[in-house]
Every structure is written in structure tokens, then in C-alpha cells.
Amino acid sequence: MAKCNIENKIRILRFHAGEMTQQELADKTGVSRQTIMAIEQGKYSPTLELAFRIARVFDTPVGEVFFYRND
Amino acid sequence: MGQKEKQVLVSLIASLIIIVFYSLWVFNRYIESNPEIINDLKFWGRSFIVLIPVAIIAQIVIHILFAIINKIVTDEDISDKDDERDKLIELKSLRVSYWVFIIGFMSAMGAVALGMELWVMFVTLIVSGFLSDLISSVVKIWYYRKGV
């Protein structure tokens, strides 16, 4: 697989949201728990729409959730 | 192993079971008693026509059984909803599967062009169809495990 340069802070944001579970986030964004897990582990880069939906759950700008890492 | 991976694995095993049992059934019922039949167009036509509904029904039955067993063992319902990641994986595996089938189809036509017997073309077509399905499942599991 090509190395994914998009990283995210979903795990931290879930913690700050009262230890929100992956399943809760999945239900709020309309995807499966496996997809949330894959995003957190950097195994899948979400579409722009899903990225915005995730950011909206945490009431934060999308740039605060996802960021591009320059190697 | 995620739910989708399990479903793909069940499909893969179901495909294996279907092709093995169907081939054995066709061999024992028709080919063993009359080997000449393998060059009969009507025989191959009937074999293909029967294989398609048999494969579909068998896949449905196996998936229902899997859903029941899964519910008993894990107390989880099988979700039939695909999200964007599932759809992307489906598309990527479909692309690989098409290529495998196209190579098989070209090989089958090549066999005809080279003047080989009729059964070579049909067996190549069945094998390539089966392989494309099998490889599609393997590719899906690969993407679910390694990321997409």
C-alpha cells in the first residue's frame, strides 16, 4: 500500500469528547466502526464529505482533525 | 476480523464449495458415462444455464446460514449497508476481477483460434470466471486488512 501522508487526531478528539467510542462516532457519521478504526490507524483516507462530517461531530474545523504530514 | 471481512471470507468459501460440488456433480452425472459429451454445445449451454441460478441460490443460503451462526455466536446483526470505504474496496477488487476474466476470455478465444477442442474453451471460461471471483474476494480481504 502507498504510504498515507494524511494523519488525524480523531483518537484525541474522541477522548476529549468524553471518551466517545468508535461505534458512537461511526453512528454519528453514517459509516461502520471498521471504517473509523481504519481512518484512525491511517489505513484509509476519508472523502472530503466524511472528513467534514467527522469534524462537525467534534464541532471543530476539518483542519484541526486532519493534517498533511510533509516527509 | 471485521464483519465485512468475514462476509467476504464466507463468499470465498461458498464459491469454492459451489464450484467443487457442481463440477463433481456434472462429471458424475454426464461426463463419466458419456465422455464424448464434452464437445457437445448443448451440454455446455445447459451446464452454464444451470450453474448460474445454482450458484446464486447456494450463495444466498450460505450467507443466511452464516448470518444465523454469527448472530448465535457473537450476538451481532449482519449489516448490509456499505459505506464509502466498502464501495471503494468493491470497485478496486472489481477492477482486478475484470482483468482476470478478460485474460481468461482471451485465452479461451485463443484456444478456439488455435483449433483446440470445444471443451477447452468452455473449461477456460468457467475457470476464469471462478478465478476472477476468487481473486476479487482475496483482493477485498487484502484491502480490508492492509488499508486502501
Q: What share of chain B is helix, strand, coil (3-state, %, to 5)?
A: 85, 0, 15
Does the beta carbon of A50 lie under 8 angstroms from any beta carbon of chain B? yes
pLDDT digits (tens, 9 = 90+) for B16-36: 999 999 999 999 999 999 998
Judging contacts by C-beta atoms under 8 Å, the chain B residues touching residue A41 are 147
Side chain identity at A37, as an amino acid letter? M
Contact B137, B12 (CB under 8 A): yes
pLDDT value of position B117: 92
Indicate if the pLDDT at residue A71 is higher than 80: no
pLDDT value of position A21: 96
Q: List the single best residue of A3, A35, A40 to mutate versus B (max B Cβ within 10 A).
A: A35
- Burial bucket for residue A71 (CB in 10 Å: 0-12, 13-18, 19+): exposed
Indicate if the pLDDT at residue B142 is higher than 90: yes
Nearest CA in chain B to A40: B147
Q: List the single best residue of B5, B85, B89, B91 to mutate versus A (max A Cβ within 10 A).
A: B85
Q: What is the ipTM of this complex?
A: 0.87
pLDDT value of position B111: 95
pLDDT digits (tens, 9 = 90+) for A50-63: 999 999 999 999 99
The closest alpha carbon to A4, from A41, A51, A50, belongs to A41
Would you call B86 and A32 a contact, using CB atoms and an 8 Å cutoff?
yes
Q: Indicate the average pLDDT of chain A.
A: 92
Q: Indicate the average pLDDT of chain B.
A: 92
β-partners of residue A66 are A8
In angstroms, the CA B13 to CA B11 distance is: 6
b/e map B63-95, b = 16+ CB within 10 Å: beebbeebeeeeeeebeeeebebbebbbebbee
Contact A27, A53 (CB under 8 A): no
pLDDT value of position B110: 97
Give the confidence band of A31 by pLDDT, cuts at 50, 70, 90: very high
pLDDT value of position A1: 56
Residue partners of A65: CB distance under 8 A and separation at least 6: A8, A9, A10, A13, A51, A54, A55, A58
pLDDT digits (tens, 9 = 90+) for B60-112: 999 999 999 988 988 888 777 899 999 999 999 999 999 999 999 999 999 99
CA distance B127 to chain A (A): 29
Indicate if the pLDDT at residue B2 is higher than 90: no
Q: Say what percent of chain B tops pLDDT 90.
A: 78
pLDDT value of position B81: 83
Give the confidence band of B114 by pLDDT, cuts at 50, 70, 90: very high
In angstroms, the CA B54 to CA B49 distance is: 9
The contact set of B with A (CB < 8 A) is: 2-4, 79, 81, 83-86, 144, 146-148
Judging contacts by C-beta atoms under 8 Å, the chain B residues touching residue A30 are 83
The model carries a pTM of: 0.86
Nearest CA in chain A to B142: A1
pLDDT value of position B80: 75
Give the confidence band of B120 by pLDDT, cuts at 50, 70, 90: very high
In angstroms, the CA B85 to CA A38 distance is: 9
Nearest CA in chain B to A33: B2
Query: Cell numbers of B80, please?
Result: 448490509
Query: What is the H or E stretch that residue B125 is in?
Result: helix B118-146
